[in-house]
Amino acid sequence: MGRTRSTDWTLDEASFNRLLEWLNPDRDRAGDCYEDIRSRLITMFTYRGRQDAEDLADETINRVARRLPEKEYEYIKTPLPIFFGFAKRVLQEHFKPHPFPTIPVIDQSADAKDSEDRDKCWRECLDELPIQQRQMMLEYHREEKPQMRVLIRRELARRLGMTIGALRIRVSRIQDDLEECRDACLEKAQAEPLMAF
């Protein structure tokens, strides 16, 4: 039987559990660790201009998970360099000569898309957020110099009893919820143009 191509391999439940166990025997911590690693991979691929950053991150994780039954991985206690090594390989294999657009992509959301409705929906959704979540969001994104931002975020994470990486993921989820709320609000506004606002 020939060797399975790494891209054909999929992460099943048993492999995923083995991966989590390898990351940390404590299941909750392992989950945080997994999300943190995935987030770092996405960050790195995104900074390389890759539109498919999430797919590449998942492929990297799959490749590591696929190799875990091998004896040598049993003794590795610091998984980050392993993921980094695989990420580089994935990037090489999916090489694109010019990942960044040659013509600048202008963000046009401030013009056509950022209608009054959109503004109102954002405001409404931010107002509707539970107060702790809104506070967390505003504090995390406080407009400061980078050093101050880092300090504020560290302090916020400490107050909430979580790591700074977990805080970033939490804030990102609140942002996802806000975007869902905004989409629902916009749909409603379009469905009932006379009633809305």
Partner 1 sequence: MDLIGDEKTIREYLLGGLSEQDREQFEEQLFAESEFHEEVKAVEDALIQEYIAGRLSLPDRGRFEQRLLCTDDQRRQVTFARHLKRYRGQDQRFTNRIKGLLNVFEGDRRTVRVALGAALILVAAGSILLTIITPRGGPDATIAITLHPGQARGSGELQKLKVGKDVQAVRISLVLRDPSYSEYRASVSGSDRGNVVFTSDKLVPQGASNPPKVTLDLPVGDLAGGDYEIDLTGRSAEGERFEVIDSYYLRILR
Residues near partner 1 (CB under 8 A): 36, 40, 42-44, 46-47, 49-51, 53, 80-81, 83-84, 87-88, 99-101, 104-107, 109-110, 114, 118-119, 122-123, 126, 131-132, 134-135, 137-138, 141, 143-151, 153-154, 163-165, 168, 175, 178-179
Of the two residues 18 and 124, which places its CB atom closer to partner 1 in the complex? Answer: 124
Of the two residues 8 and 107, which places its CB atom closer to partner 1 in the complex? Answer: 107
Min separation Cβ 196 and partner 1, Å: 18
Give whole-number Cα distances, 166 to 31, 32, 141, 184, in Å: 10, 7, 15, 27
Min separation Cβ 45 and partner 1, Å: 9
Min separation Cβ 14 and partner 1, Å: 27
Contacts 24+ apart (CB under 8 A), 176-181: 177/129, 178/122, 178/125, 178/126, 178/129, 178/137, 181/121, 181/124, 181/125, 181/128
| Closest listed residue to residue 140, CA positions, set 175, 115, 192, 116 | 175
Min separation Cβ 73 and partner 1, Å: 18
Q: Rounded to an integer, what distance in angstroms lies between the CA atom of residue 171 and that of residue 164?
A: 10
> Which positions ≥6 away from 19 have C-beta within 8 Å?
11, 34, 61, 64, 65, 68
Of the two residues 12 and 144, which places its CB atom closer to partner 1 in the complex? Answer: 144
Of the two residues 8 and 127, which places its CB atom closer to partner 1 in the complex? Answer: 127
